[in-house]
Chain A
């Protein structure tokens, strides 16, 4: 019984940490309608700043808190709203999410340049000392966290439901028109919302900093907030008291599992189960959230849809691309760029190009955000290495199929929900699988998994040239496939689903099924890309498939144009080349790129001024698009054709 009490106290302490993180997420979402993926990164920067002020410059704690929370966080929150978010009115639904991801990679990039990861950044407790309860010693710092978490939850509840400003804050998202009628400025309210969100994020970062007994880590602090996802989801991203309760509940559940269940499991499984727990809770939360009803929002895609290459045109383009690749293979054989052979880099470009294509399919066409395509690559590469000795076509097939299946499993719990939940699930998945799988040397081996080059009867791709051309051929095939999908019935459905889910359902189409199908196809493509990546690199492992590069790559594709094949290729090319030149700068490039692109849905390639005409492509003048409204032609005759016979 005494043990039970101990575990319970621990659970509440864990839960309070989750609650702090989750409440911040809910606040920003409630007041801005945007899920801020940079929430954790803001907390991270706040924690490091706190370390800088208190541990390095010996600024008094209260002064440091004042500077960080009141000055730093609120000014940055206001700036982010004013400079980044306000411009996004009328952008496609996924764009604000992309911009917060851009903010995330900018902040982590900035932090990496500022605070060396090899220095140990230790933050002392704000209040020292401890007391004894049910046989365990409890630190006052832990009590402080629980107290602040509870106080914040209560205060926010009161703010949102009992004050005029609070009600107005909520209305920004729920009913902007009503808000405007009430006389409050939606922009002003939205700005308050972001300020509040940033302060909450900074508060979480600063409070949790002393719990990092091994010192602050950029990635760990940034990802701490993922533990709060499950709780925020149970609270449906809106309800602060429910979120708070869920966070405590999850903390307790986790502790009971660790304390009572894990000792009965084989020792070797324990660390993996521990790491997988947040993911398990997230999925349980997703399954328990009630379905979100479809809303006819009347959002109208104003962007000009990118031209889709016709069948013959794409075949010609694909063949030309291959010819260019052969020329490149001859020209660049045995030459290196920044210490890496160009053909190896080229092979990586093609693999990433395929990942980019998978993003075109899943995000560009169907509008769902996947942040775990690199994770599928990792699984694909792993499968490739393990099947039939690593150099077999069966490996490619198995990699594709297994990743498609995993993709379907991830998408399944989210199909009833808004697309945002899928993005959350993929983010959490990418995080969990990095630690639980890619970083697990028992599975991947300390030296990674070796993957052979593909050998076919009478045909070997052992040489760099042959390998490069083979991977290029796969890229071209994948590009042709994506274009063919877009021209097909399925492609029309994907775009239709993206443009109007409500209309999609009311013409008799099953939203959930379509979503899972396209997500699984994209996951399979990424798996294939990973398997090919394995054959290029010949050894893959541990650190190759981290979550942040995956996010950066999504941003690269979005910046170029996430709806076109060309965009996918250029993203892969620039990502690899820039990475070779200045690896640390990739996040900064991606973040600034997405900010500059703003709401332009078509990315760089969508900018009209940059368009040039390919000689073999017939193109009508854009004038017809703007033609004045034509008349409904005289007496229409339709009745006889409809199938409704009464």
Chain B
């Protein structure tokens, strides 16, 4: 009954990856129709972040020279979310190499939920008992652990979560918060670049899962606000890996711009392949979940991908940006220290940032931290960008900024698109217009 690894199938993997589109591109339900600008210290957000008094005397997992953090990730199925552990370990190694935080080394207690809800619940419970906080874990079963954390509001949880209910917990902090809207600037950029008539013929494919669907609803809202017209937007089952029919339908409908940002890499590569096979060449805009070293070979080579645009609110963290952004180089270096030969992925990036955010709060919490003081410190961090490895967000208020990165694939390589040039004041990201969320 409890899941055996093979059960996962490509569907589950696909689901996982689909779900992952959400976080970087933003989704979920809480919305306030506000826009925050980079570094903007909007309210700071103790609102809805009540900390139980008992937490301030709770020193679980904290000793004089170490602090234990729990990382609950799916490591089964050949290391499904091993990246979430590696990223956490990598940042811990990095911090520890510099003497730790206020003299304490970060010790990562890793637990595998074995791709099961029960496993996630048990592992989270164990972490609540033994560790100071939960940091950096990733699992599709996070709602199970979320239920445990809801009962322990005094335990800090610094992770990216998929479950909407868990995402609203007062003790949850995300370095890359989920919001539910879209950066208007990115869509304005494409409109200017492709022309007003081209964006009257927009097509996309949406995975049959709540998070991409909610995500797409947000993106579509902003698209229409900006003057796009969406002519093709079917949902496809997670088991579908052949899009030839969809391609032909899009061809018949005259789709001119194809947004491939609600598909994970495995689906995107199949779709790109089908586009080539059917000699259909719309403008393609890729999303954060397709930014992967695997995309180009899987799509059948550079020809299928060259010229495609990329829109995400993270740097080109797989390596292209390591010269320009020092934190990318640090990230890549320490990932190799933590797990030699490991190929970093989106989940590694999440975990790295979560641990970084946690360390910052731990530092601010002073020399005698408790769970309560760490939570309090977290609630005061209103601006985070991990040294520009991602765009700036406000973890305390769970909002993200209006900044975005535009990239393009050329000669089989991912690269930034500096046309028109980006002003340096925004750290290499484009920050214009607003972050828009649809009204509820």
Contact = CB atoms under 8 A, between A and B. Distances in A.
Direct contact between A and B in the complex (CB less than 8 angstroms)? yes
Interface of A: 3, 6, 10, 108-109, 111-112, 116-120, 122, 130, 136-137, 139, 211-215, 217-220, 255, 258-259, 267-268, 270-272, 274-275, 339-340, 344, 348, 352, 374, 377, 435, 439-442, 445-448, 450, 533, 537-546, 548-549, 552-553, 579, 583-584, 586-587
B266 A120 contact: yes
A344 B115 CA distance: 18
B242 to A, nearest CB: 6
Interface residues of B, number: 72
A112 B6 contact: yes
B6 A108 contact: yes
Interface in B1-23: 1-15, 19
A442 B210 contact: yes
Contacts of B165: 447
Interface string B273-308: 110011100000000000000100110000000000
Given A117-B77, A119-B78, A439-B15, A219 B278 contact: no
A344 B126 CA distance: 15
B248 to A, nearest CB: 6
B275 to A, nearest CB: 11
Contact of A583 (B4, B10, B79, B241): B4
30 contacts: A6-B248, A10-B244, A10-B245, A112-B4, A118-B79, A122-B297, A130-B277, A214-B269, A214-B270, A214-B298, A215-B298, A218-B6, A219-B6, A219-B10, A259-B245, A268-B235, A270-B236, A271-B235, A274-B237, A275-B239, A339-B123, A374-B1, A441-B15, A447-B165, A448-B144, A539-B121, A539-B143, A548-B7, A549-B1, A583-B5
Contacts of A541: 117
Contacts of A217: 9-10, 13
A6 B141 CA distance: 42
Nearest to B19: A446
A268 B209 CA distance: 10
Nearest to A341: B122
B1 A215 contact: no
Contacts of A440: 208
B114 interface: yes
Contacts of B209: 441-442, 446
A543 B12 contact: yes
Nearest to A374: B1
A595 B166 CA distance: 46
B154 interface: no
B116 A543 contact: yes
Contacts of B266: 120, 214-215
A212 B241 contact: yes
Contacts of A552: 4
Contacts of A267: 233-235
B95 interface: no
Contact of A220 (B10, B80, B269): B10
Contacts of A445: 143, 210
A111 B15 CA distance: 22
A546 B14 CA distance: 16
A548 B267 CA distance: 25
B290 to A, nearest CB: 13
A139 B277 contact: yes
Contact of B8 (A3, A117, A259): A117
A543 B78 CA distance: 17
Nearest to A547: B7
Contacts of B13: 117-118, 217
A352 B1 CA distance: 9
B240 interface: yes
Nearest to A109: B6
Nearest to B299: A213
Interface string B140-170: 1111101100000000000000110110000
B281 to A, nearest CB: 13
B140 A446 contact: yes
Nearest to A339: B122
Shortest 8 CB-CB distances between A and B: which pairs? A447-B143, A116-B78, A217-B10, A219-B9, A271-B237, A271-B208, A213-B270, A546-B7
Contact of B5 (A213, A274, A545, A584): A584
Given A117-B77, A118-B80, A214-B266, A543 B241 contact: no
Contacts of B9: 217-220
A446 B16 CA distance: 11
Contacts of B141: 447-448
Contacts of B425: none
A629 to B, nearest CB: 50
Given A136-B248, A447-B146, A215 B10 contact: yes
Contacts of B294: 120
B124 to A, nearest CB: 11
B339 interface: no
Given A440-B208, A442-B208, A540 B4 contact: no
Contacts of A339: 119, 122-123, 126
Nearest to B273: A213
Contacts of B147: 450, 538-539
A508 B98 CA distance: 86
Contacts of B298: 120, 122, 214-215
Contacts of A136: 244, 248, 278
B383 interface: no
B198 interface: no
A135 to B, nearest CB: 8
* Residue with the highest number of chain B CB atoms closer than 10 Å, among A440, A543, A545: A543
B163 A447 contact: yes
B117 A537 contact: yes
A377 B1 CA distance: 10
Contacts of B78: 116-119
B245 A543 contact: no
B424 interface: no
Contacts of A446: 19, 140, 143, 162-163, 209-211
Interface in B378-433: none
A540 B143 CA distance: 11
A219 B9 CA distance: 5
B115 A543 contact: yes
Nearest to B78: A116
Interface string B103-117: 000000000001111
Nearest to A273: B237
* Residue with the highest number of chain A CB atoms closer than 10 Å, among B143, B209, B237, B270: B237
Contacts of B123: 339
Nearest to B17: A214
Contacts of B7: 219, 543, 546, 548-549
B252 interface: yes
B35 interface: no
B168 to A, nearest CB: 13
A431 to B, nearest CB: 11
A158 B60 CA distance: 76
A566 B436 CA distance: 62
Contacts of A272: 237
B144 A539 contact: yes
A327 B76 CA distance: 35
B66 interface: no
* Residue with the highest number of chain B CB atoms closer than 10 Å, among A136, A441, A442: A441
* Residue with the highest number of chain A CB atoms closer than 10 Å, among B1, B12, B163: B1
A119 B294 CA distance: 10
B116 A544 contact: yes
Interface in B251-276: 252, 266-267, 269-270, 273-274
Contacts of A117: 5-6, 8, 13, 77-78, 80
A137 B1 contact: no
A587 B118 contact: no
A545 B2 CA distance: 8
Contacts of B269: 213-214
Nearest to B243: A213
Nearest to A553: B1
A533 B294 CA distance: 40
